[in-house]
């Protein structure tokens, strides 16, 4: 069976669309979609719904039944060859009699990369790798970073005026951007594992930090609070406190610690730097909790800390067509900033579009863990 390139890309695009259905649900596993094709007919397809459940290939094989014999499989990620929470998929494909396998990208895990492909080839199955590879890599950019480093993929989300202000000199920030941008932000929350803010955001705005998406789910709410100043009546503590994580330091009062833990809030006592939570330590701990993606919606100081430490993997910037002006209004980044232009952070692989009345820019800091190309979240 030989397809033209346009056919290969068509079926791989279908696999990618299936894989995207698992966004925000598969951690710490990747998003994977699989399509079994015979002639011009799809005989089976599926995607990985959530961690611990059947992989995409197995779902597709089950739907195809006997029709899988002699079929071609299109899958955005190399079939696994090792035992995890579920059995390996490569042997199942061999047993089912699949004739050809088209793979978008190899497994990024250095310990297993290429082993599933080799197992298939050793069994006499034709294997081709690299169909829509850039799109496949982008879809699982968070998984790729996590599996290689053990740390979550960090997305910094900014809502700002055109002159770079995130609040007025009196602290007013609701709402700088328009309704369409805010809906986009809630869809993004629905697709990440964790949402991080600083204690200043809690004290000033008292947000719920939920994803108000029909049929969606809320990410873990992570609050940087080095001295446990969070009020007992904070909204993030009122609803499902088990999904609230407070990152603090040895400076936290014992009484506050005990009171929060009694309510079911998870408190992480982490290393500190200058009296603040050491972000590298936090990311390591979140990775150990199997969080693959982290959305940072911080104020100036939190944004500045992530910038200074070089911890930003991707940026989503929403610019409203407004100007606040002045030197007292809060800028996007706090801290001392770059001393020279040579030290300035440069964004790469930019995508620009309008969302409602706002300008949206998506990009990757150079030298960060970035994909070469990407699929939009919207």
Cβ neighbors of 198 (< 8 A, separation 6 or more) are 223, 224, 225, 298, 299, 301, 302
Q: How far apart are CA 371 and CA 348, in angstroms?
A: 10
Radius of gyration of the chain (CA): 23
Q: How far apart are CA 31 and CA 60, in angstroms?
A: 15
Q: How far apart are CA 38 and CA 72, in angstroms?
A: 6
First CA to last CA distance, the chain: 35
Tell me the residue ranges of DSSP E strands in the chain: 33-38, 41-47, 72-77, 100-105, 126-129, 153-161, 165-167, 194-198, 220-224, 244-248, 266-269, 272-273, 276-277, 293-296, 314-320, 330-331, 347-355, 358-365
Enumerate the β-bridge partners of residue 266: 245
57 noted as active-site residue: yes
For the chain, give me the number of helices (H) and strands (E)?
Answer: 12, 18
| DSSP symbol at 79 | P
Catalytic one among 57, 78, 141, 362? 57
Cβ neighbors of 6 (< 8 A, separation 6 or more) are none
CA 317 vs. chain centroid, Å, equals 16
| DSSP symbol at 211 | -
Catalytic residue numbers, as ranges: 57
């Amino acid at each position: 069976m030989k397809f033209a390139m346009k056919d290969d890309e068509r079926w791989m695009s279908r696999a990618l669309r299936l894989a995207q259905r698992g966004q925000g649900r598969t951690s710490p596993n990747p998003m994977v979609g699989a399509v079994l094709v015979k002639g011009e007919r799809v005989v089976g397809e599926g995607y990985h719904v959530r961690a611990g459940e059947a992989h995409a290939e197995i779902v597709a094989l089950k739907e195809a039944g006997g029709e899988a014999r002699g079929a071609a499989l299109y899958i955005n990620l190399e079939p696994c060859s090792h035992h995890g929470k579920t059995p390996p998929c490569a042997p199942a494909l061999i047993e089912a009699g699949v004739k050809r396998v088209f793979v978008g990208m190899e497994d990024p895990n250095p310990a297993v990369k290429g082993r599933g492909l080799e197992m298939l080839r050793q069994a006499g199955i034709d294997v081709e790798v690299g169909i829509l590879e850039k799109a496949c890599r982008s879809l699982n950019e968070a998984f790729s970073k996590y599996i290689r480093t053990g740390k979550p993929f960090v997305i910094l989300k900014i809502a700002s005026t055109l002159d770079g202000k995130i609040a007025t000199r009196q602290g007013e920030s609701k709402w700088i951007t328009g309704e369409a941008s805010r809906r986009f932000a809630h869809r993004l929350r629905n697709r990440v594992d964790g949402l991080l803010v600083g204690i200043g955001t809690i004290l000033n705005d008292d947000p719920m930090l939920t994803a108000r998406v029909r049929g969606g789910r809320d990410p873990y709410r992570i609050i940087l609070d080095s001295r446990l100043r969070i009020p007992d009546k904070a909204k993030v503590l009122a609803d499902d406190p088990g999904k609230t994580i407070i990152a603090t330091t040895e400076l936290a009062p014992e009484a506050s610690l005990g009171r929060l833990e009694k309510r079911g809030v998870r408190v992480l006592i982490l290393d500190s730097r200058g009296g603040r939570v050491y972000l590298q330590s936090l990311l390591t701990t979140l990775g150990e909790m199997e969080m693959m993606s982290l959305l940072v919606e911080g104020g100036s100081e939190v944004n500045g800390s992530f910038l200074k430490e070089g911890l930003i993997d991707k940026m989503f910037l929403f610019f409203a067509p407004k100007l606040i002006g002045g030197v007292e209004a809060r800028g996007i980044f706090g801290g001392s900033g770059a001393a020279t232009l040579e030290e300035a952070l440069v964004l790469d692989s930019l995508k620009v579009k309008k969302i409602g009345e706002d300008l949206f820019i998506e990009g990757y800091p150079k030298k960060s863990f970035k994909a070469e190309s990407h699929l939009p979240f919207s």
